[in-house]
Chains A and B, each alone.
Chain A
Amino acid sequence: MPKNGFTPKAILDLDRIVHEPARLAILTVLAAAEEVAFLFLQRVTGLSKGNLSSHTQKLEAAGYLETVKVFQGRIPVTSFRITEDGRLALRTYHKHLRALLPEEGKR
């Protein structure tokens, strides 16, 4: 058993919604701003449109983000906001992962 009190179960208890790399990237970007447009999120994460839609839907279903849809003229523009639950989930994930990582992995 590790010294910090975490059992192997702690690794399995990591939030899998956040743990997936694409979703982790999405939540990280959203946590750095108040509202982020789909286009920027797509470019900054390097995901395809379909992939990004699928991941944002999963995050929305978990209550970690909310979708904002507005019309600019006749063009629909989709943006995302991280929710308080999403922010908390991301913080908790970072905390748990840091505690689980060996010293050289904490940089």
Chain B
Amino acid sequence: MTTPELDALSTLTREYAAFQARKSGLATALGGLMAILLVLAALSPNLMGADLLKRPLLDYILFVPFLWLILKWLGGLLLYRGLGTVKAMQDERYERRRWFWILGLALVLMAYILVGLYGFMNGFLVQHPTGSPLCPPAQWILLLPLLYLLPMPWVIRGIEEARVYAVLVAQCMIWLVPPFLFAFGPRNPPKQAWTLAGHLAMTTFLVVILFIQIWGALALVRGWKEHREYLALLRSLPRES
């Protein structure tokens, strides 16, 4: 056995272990496609505004991360069962990147919870100081942060999960928070402050939408490429003697 052959064995094992940790490929491509479709659907005429809360699209937007998690799990089970488990060696750089994304996800969720609570307290409680019952869908929307926190133990297992989940959750929040604030926010804000806040919000909104579209397109290409690489890796393994 020559040195290049030994090096090839070592590289093959490392690549397989890295892929096993992600079990992504098609799931990444699917995440990218879902993100693009979501933005395109939401940008269609007559879907914006307060009425968004009553439309079926909202349900789709809110449950896309869960749908993706289920599809990713199924993909890992059916497509990427592979040849048994190979646990990768601990990599400090990888771990640092992993925690960067986990922290990012936690911050996105925290920001959403804070904005949601602020909007609720500022608007709804002022309008209904006696604490009259919330109308649906507001009731279940208040439980949403908890719902999003449920898959966290699963998400923190890998950088890939954390990354795509963070983007999908952020996307949900982008579509959810404006109508939520519109419906329950202060009715007569100071004109000057509203204009400044409005411009700021719109600019951020457009930048994030652009980012999601670019990310979605990159994820599509990368996911498909990764899937092809995995198939090539399986083909490169020697046959049983």
Q: Is B90 a contact of A34 with CB atoms below 8 Å?
A: yes
Please encode chain B, from 75 to 86, with 1 for each CB lying within 8 Å of some chain A CB and 0 for all others.
000000011111
Query: Chain B: which residue is nearest A47 at the CB level?
Result: B241
Q: Is A28 a contact of B6 with CB atoms below 8 Å?
A: yes
Interface size range of chain A in the complex = 20 to 34
Q: Which residues of A contact B237 (CB under 8 A)?
A: 43-44
- Minimal beta-carbon separation of A29 from chain B (angstroms): 5
Q: Is B84 a contact of A46 with CB atoms below 8 Å?
A: no
Q: Does B17 contact A (CB under 8 A)?
A: yes
Q: Does A33 contact B (CB under 8 A)?
A: yes
The B-contacting residues of A in range 6-25, CB under 8 angstroms, are 21, 24-25
- Please indicate which of the listed interface residues B12, B17, B86 has the most CB atoms of chain A within 10 Å of its own CB: B86
Question: Quick one: which of B82, B83, B87 contacts A33, CB cutoff 8 A?
Answer: B87
Q: Does B153 contact A (CB under 8 A)?
A: no
How many CB-defined contacts (below 8 Å) exist between A and B?
Answer: 81
- Minimal beta-carbon separation of A2 from chain B (angstroms): 19
- Minimal beta-carbon separation of A70 from chain B (angstroms): 10
Question: Quick one: which of A29, A37, A46, A107 contacts B239, CB cutoff 8 A?
Answer: A46
Q: Does B44 contact A (CB under 8 A)?
A: no
- Minimal beta-carbon separation of B181 from chain A (angstroms): 48
CA distance A51 to B241 in the complex (A): 10
Question: Quick one: which of B9, B12, B88 contacts A34, CB cutoff 8 A?
Answer: B88
- Minimal beta-carbon separation of B13 from chain A (angstroms): 4
Q: Does B1 contact A (CB under 8 A)?
A: yes
Query: Chain B: which residue is nearest A79 at the CB level?
Result: B85
Q: Is A33 a contact of B240 with CB atoms below 8 Å?
A: no
Q: Is B14 a contact of A46 with CB atoms below 8 Å?
A: no
CA distance A37 to B84 in the complex (A): 5
Q: Does A4 contact B (CB under 8 A)?
A: no
- Minimal beta-carbon separation of B35 from chain A (angstroms): 33
Q: Does B10 contact A (CB under 8 A)?
A: yes
CA distance A76 to B175 in the complex (A): 47
Please encode chain A, from 19 to 56, with 1 for each CB lying within 8 Å of some chain B CB and 0 for all others.
00100110011011111111110111111100100000
- Minimal beta-carbon separation of A47 from chain B (angstroms): 6
Q: Is A34 a contact of B89 with CB atoms below 8 Å?
A: yes
CA distance A48 to B90 in the complex (A): 30
Q: Which residues of B contact A24 (CB under 8 A)?
A: 1, 6
Q: Is A33 a contact of B238 with CB atoms below 8 Å?
A: no
The A-contacting residues of B in range 59-91, CB under 8 angstroms, are 82-90
Q: Does B3 contact A (CB under 8 A)?
A: yes
Q: Is A25 a contact of B88 with CB atoms below 8 Å?
A: no
Q: Is B84 a contact of A77 with CB atoms below 8 Å?
A: yes
CA distance A77 to B87 in the complex (A): 14
- A38-B84 contact given A28-B10, A48-B240, CB 8 Å threshold: yes
5 A-B pairs besides A21-B1, A46-B240 with CB distance below 8 A are: A32-B89, A33-B88, A43-B237, A44-B9, A44-B12
**8 residue pairs from A and B, CB less than 8 Å apart:** A28-B9, A34-B87, A35-B87, A43-B240, A46-B239, A47-B241, A79-B84, A79-B85
